Amino acid sequence: MDARRKKIITTIIMFVLLAVGPVGAFAATTTSTSPSNGMVSLTFDDGTSSVLNNAIPILNAAHLPSTQYVITSYLDGHDKNFMNAANVRHLQAEGHEIGSHTRSHPFLPGLTTAEVMNELRQSKQDLAAIGINATTFAYPFGGYTVDISKLVQKSGYAGARTCDYGWNGNRLNRYLLKVHTVFPDTTLDSIKLKIAATMQDHTWLILVFHDVRHKPSTSEGTTIAVLQGVVDYLVKNKVHVVTVAEGLKLRNQLSLEQHHPGI
């Protein structure tokens, strides 16, 4: 394939992705590197108010999208520690992906098949009821089995994120995506090294955040300063930042190009 034809095809692919992806102002950044050079996803679990108040302003200022995995039983606004339906709809309008983290955040391997299906389908329906089509899922506590991953697929999700450590390459299992979780003792320098390795190896790094505060309040929280440092590093190095849904589409396209270089 000559350079001109490849450029035209790449432009068409990105136009299609933008057309079906988030409609917000930063659905894609024009200054980032090609996804074939590696990409990063910023994911946030549980839909906490600390993310809404402390993380979203940082991301929006840098025009970076995120994937927010929300527990849908909190969308009615009864607990002020979590985002409500209006908050979630606004985030989607800004260009962030909204994914499912079940309805009540149970450890799925401890449930019956019927109970698992109810959590998967009801959370998807809860989001659909407020105008959100959730296409990706995150396992609560990272708990899953092979059978549960099949139920996720059966429930209509395009992919699912675990808490298993690692990077995602061309041979990824879209229902068992690997991650790097950011804990209170995770340093900014260590995250920078992971991002640099991602770019060097042309893989996909999914970072997992929970609470974001001046001081971490949980065993899985992080600080505002660390998140700001991560965002600054991504912008400075023009790293391609994508939602999980976008990442799945792009990895699939890159795999097709490598196996069928003439397309």
Answer for the pair 94, 60: CB distance below 8 angstroms, yes or no: yes
- The pLDDT of residue 23: 46
Could you tell me the pTM of the whole model?
0.87
Enumerate the domain spans of the chain.
42-236
Sign of CA dihedral 121, 124, 127, 129: negative
Inter-CA distances, 126 with 85, 103, 119, 201, 241, Å: 10, 8, 10, 39, 28
The predicted structure's pLDDT at residue 26 = 61
pLDDT for residue 218:
80
Q: Give residue 170's pLDDT.
A: 86
- Structural tokens at position 253: 């396209």
**Tokens representing 104?**
């009540």
Query: Can you give the pLDDT of all 263 residues of the chain as single tens digits?
Result: 455 554 444 444 444 333 344 445 564 444 567 778 899 999 999 999 999 999 999 999 999 999 999 999 999 999 999 999 999 999 999 999 999 999 999 999 999 999 999 999 999 999 999 999 999 999 999 999 999 999 999 999 999 999 999 999 988 999 999 999 999 999 999 999 999 999 999 999 999 999 999 998 888 899 999 999 999 999 999 999 999 999 999 988 865 445 444 43
Tokens of 218: 């949980």
189 three-state secondary structure: helix
Which of the listed CATH numbers 3.40.50.720, 3.40.50.880, 3.40.50.970, 3.20.20.370 matches domain 42-236? 3.20.20.370
Yes or no: say if 106 and 123 are a contact pair by the CB < 8 Å rule.
Answer: no
